[in-house]
Amino acid sequence: MHALHTKPPPRPHYGVRCCTFPSTLFVSHSSSRRSACIVAAVGSSSAQDTVDVAVIGSGIIGLCVARKLLQDTQLSVALLDAKQPCAGATGAGQGYIWLAHRDPASPSWPLARRSKAMWQQLAAAAGSSKLGTAMEWQENGSLLLATSADEVAQLQARAAMLQQQGVPGVVLLSPRELKMAEPALKLPTGSHGLLVKSDAQINGKQTAFAMLEDCQQLAAAAAGGSAGQTSQLLLGLQEPVVGLQPLGDGAGVEVTTQKRRVRARQGVVVAAGVWSGQLLAAATGQQGWQQLLQPRRGHLLEMQPPAGMPRIHTGMMELSYTQHYSSSSEQSHGTAAGNSSSSSKAVHITFTATTSASGTLLIGSSREFSGWEALPDAVIIDAIMQRASCFLPHLSGISAQQLLATTRVGLRPFAVGGLPSVGLVPGLPGVAVAAGHEGSGLCLGPATADLVLHQLLGLDLAAAAAAAGGGGGGEAGGGVTADELLAAAKELAPERRLASLAAASR
């Protein structure tokens, strides 16, 4: 096979709409960009390894899967990635572990509740656990901002909905209370806020690398050796996977990388984010996988707070951001890109802001279908800052050139229909997928690992809930039962997600 080379795409022209409330800001492309498909050549290496389970992808989903296997079973694991941890969406986000903006009617809701409780349990070990400390857990709350009468009504309905679901710390803020809570904000008269005090955030990148180290230590402890001398974990970073083949007769699945062949006796979990679509399309012959999982580039800006700006105490976002998490937002590529044609893509700019544990500001955010390009764009950075300064006037006058070096860019694994695919892959015995979480990998990761390993290996969901302290419906497990997770699994099943793609195409 040969690598497919593409010419650099022409620089797009953007049109930016200024500080109107409450709508999301849109930035329009006047020209399309090509999608680049990277096809790696298979070398002649005869290196072979055998493990129980292979995990493809070392983003937060893959790491959660690998860690659960190493912590809760005696199985050996291969963790394979074309790059390094956080090469996709994990390291480019704000790290919100929120319920405020999520929809209880969505199948992802029980995963979010359970995952949040599991992260909180890990964070409780901070000081005695390197992973718990590295997470930088901040229970600083979430704040949704409503800037019109219509949005205030939506906010009131959302508050009632969250309270009905038993989410703790849900408080509606009047205009005066909102100003007192966040003095840096400048909003139209009559604006309200919805504060969820129990929401939190973590440092996604540090969490991922600490989780990788935790996997190595768990494997070493199981093998009775050091982290560098154990057969319990085969770590293959910088090893693109170029082949995936069930062997039949119960022999497992063979995974081929550029450096080796790995036989996974009990199965494979594909958790390679948006790149999962390419791999599964090649392995199954179903091109629908590439259509189902698409790259959606996002920018997040990191900066020191401007002089004189009051500290931001919560994580905040404008209410229109919640459209990305609505159960009624099952949408195709075209509608997600603003009903644009193939020659005109839209960039959605929505205000979000928080303060990191180190004191820097994290300002966002953008969403766009721009192929596989993952470099920062100065025009988009300027658009994000323009939108942010509508809410935080202290940010006015900061240029993209000042922020290019610290801007985070990642490719979110957007899934048509708005839901991830979690479960067994049709036509590939012994292969499961956990991909398409878009910007929710951190928020859904731990519960996704529970669910996909139940489907692949039969791991007991009820026992996992009890291990998380939630077997009796307690807060440590998010109050989520095994039955609720299994009900969600039906909606997240790959065959169901592929069927939704086919329906959207008709």
- CATH number of the domain enclosing 482: 3.50.50.60
Cα 364 from Cα 382, distance rounded (Å): 11
Q: Which two tokens stand for residue 407?
A: 């801007």
For CA atoms 113, 268, 37, 3, the dihedral sign is: positive
- Residues spanned by the domain of 4: 1-506
Please state the separation of Cα 318 from the chain's center in Å. Answer: 19
Output the pLDDT for position 324.
64
Distance, in Å, from the CA atom of 165 to the CA atom of 220, rounded to the nearest integer, reads 41
Q: Which two tokens stand for residue 257?
A: 């990388």
Q: Which pLDDT tens digits describe the chain residue by residue (506 residues)?
A: 333 333 333 333 333 434 554 444 444 443 333 233 222 333 334 568 999 999 999 999 999 999 999 999 999 999 999 998 888 788 788 899 999 999 999 999 999 999 999 999 999 988 788 999 999 999 999 999 999 999 999 999 999 999 999 999 999 999 999 999 999 999 999 999 999 999 999 999 999 999 999 999 999 988 775 444 457 999 999 999 999 999 988 899 999 999 999 999 999 999 999 999 999 999 999 999 999 999 999 999 999 999 999 999 999 999 988 776 554 444 433 333 333 333 336 899 999 999 999 999 999 999 999 899 899 999 999 999 999 999 999 999 999 999 999 999 999 999 988 999 999 999 999 999 999 999 899 999 999 999 999 999 999 988 766 665 544 333 346 789 999 999 999 999 999 999 888 877 76
Pairing of strands 233-236, 361-368: unpaired
Strand partners, 408: 300
Q: Locate 281 and state its tokens.
A: 């399309």
Q: Distance of CA 336 to CAs 243, 250, 358, 417, Å?
A: 31, 41, 34, 10
Backbone angles phi, psi at 144, to 5 degrees: -95, 135
Query: How big, in percent rounded to 5, are the helix, strand and coil portions of the chain?
Result: 35, 25, 40
Q: Could you give the number of structural domains in the chain? A: 1
Q: Across-strand partners of 94?
A: none
Provide the pLDDT for residue 424.
Answer: 98
The pLDDT value recorded for residue 4 is 31
Q: What per-residue confidence (pLDDT) applies to 87?
A: 80
pTM for the full predicted model: 0.87
Q: At what angle are helices 441-457 and 109-123 packed, to 10 degrees?
A: 100
